[in-house]
Structure 1
Amino acid sequence: MSYGSGVASAVLTAWWAQLAAVVAMTVGAAWLMDLSLRAFTGTLRRPRRRRRPVRPARVAARRPARRPVPVAVPERRSVQAIAADLRRLRRELALVSIGSAAHRAGVLAAYDDVLVEAARSLEVAHRLPETCPGEEREVERLRLAAALADTGLVISDRQDRG
């Protein structure tokens, strides 16, 4: 089957139109996919109209001056939160006894920090930050935990108390 000379010339001259149509369809499909994905993921936003800048004199006349309301920030955490942290860290220390030395040292340092925080909030005398690591620090840690328990702070879990 052979084509006439008119058909071949029509195909050759229309190739640029076909290419333009394919490019336009590809760009349109990509735009529609982007639009639909943004709509389904919730990132599609309508363009906002820009508001005219308002002169400061108009703003002051329109609404009264506002002062920020000071938020009361507590100086320290509640005793209940400190006691919960002490119980959590004590349980973790019991579980980490055979774990890595670095992890145990980190948990022990966190436990010491929370012990010191509890002693400051309950006004219990302590020397934990000044003691050197070792047996002396362990004794001071136990003494401070006992002193905190004497003030009424519950450090141990129910299973530990018997």
Structure 2
Amino acid sequence: MSTALIQLVAILAGFAAVVVLFGPLTRWLERRSARRHAARNPAPSGRPLERVAADLRRLGRQVDLVPAGAPMARRRGLLAAYDDVLLEAAGMLGVPSSLAGCPEGRAREVERLRLVAELRRAGLRVPV
């Protein structure tokens, strides 16, 4: 009986030593792993894909129907919102995009069209 008690105390002491010595290291490794996982797999926006697709269709129509003579700020604001939703949809479907890094102008328009085509190819119903 006394040897079993001594073995139990020794096991508990060893466990306590491991927790005290390796606890901070374990927590650091867990935080590092969580940061790396978050960097590789961005969190979803929380919005369903159907809602994002509906916003893409709505904003695409609004961009196409900006009346002549409307302030340029309105058109730029709509295009910025459309780009944001395009990037959100691309992220949700895993479609690579360089839209965020493109300067305003023809290159950005081409990237928008390419991204819309890729989203359509991925199965999202958005107008061209």
Give the TM-score of the pair, scaled to structure 2. 0.62
Extract unaligned runs of 5+ from structure 2: 1-43
Structure 1 distance, partners of 2:84, 2:55, is: 10
Question: Cα–Cα, structure 1 residues 132 and 75, in superposed 2: closer, same or farther, change >3 Å?
Answer: closer
- Helix, strand or coil at the partner of 2:100: coil
1:140 is aligned, of 73, 93, 111, to 111
Q: Name the counterpart of 2:122.
A: 151
CA–CA distance in structure 1, aligned partners of residues 53 and 91 of structure 2: 13
- Partners of 2:46 and 2:101 in 1: CA distance: 22
Q: Which runs of 4+ in 1 moved over 3 A?
A: none
SS of the residue 1:91 aligns to = helix
Structure 1: runs of 5+ lacking an equivalent: 1-73
Shift of the 103–78 alpha-carbon distance from structure 1 to 2, 3 Å rule, reads: same
SS of 2:96's equivalent in the other structure is coil
CA distance in 2, matches of 1:129, 1:77: 20
Alignment partner, residue 83 of structure 1: 53
Secondary structure at 1:129's aligned position in 2? helix
Give 2:103's aligned amino acid.
C
Separation (CA, whole Å) in 1 of partners of 2:108 and 2:124: 21
More helix as a share of residues: 2
Match of 2:102 in 1: 131
Aligned residues: 84
Other-structure match for 1:122: 93
Report the CA distance shift for 1:144/1:75 in structure 2 as closer, same or farther (over 3 A): closer
CA RMSD of aligned residues (A): 1.5
Among all aligned residue pairs of Structure 1 and Structure 2, give the percentage whose two residues are the same amino acid: 50
Q: Take 1:140 and 1:95, find their aligned partners in 2: how far apart are those partners?
A: 21
Residue 113 (structure 1) aligned with residue 113 (structure 2): no
Q: Specify whether residues 121 and 136 from structure 1 end up closer, same or farther in structure 2 by C-alpha distance, changes over 3 A only.
A: same
Cα offset for 1:100? 1.5
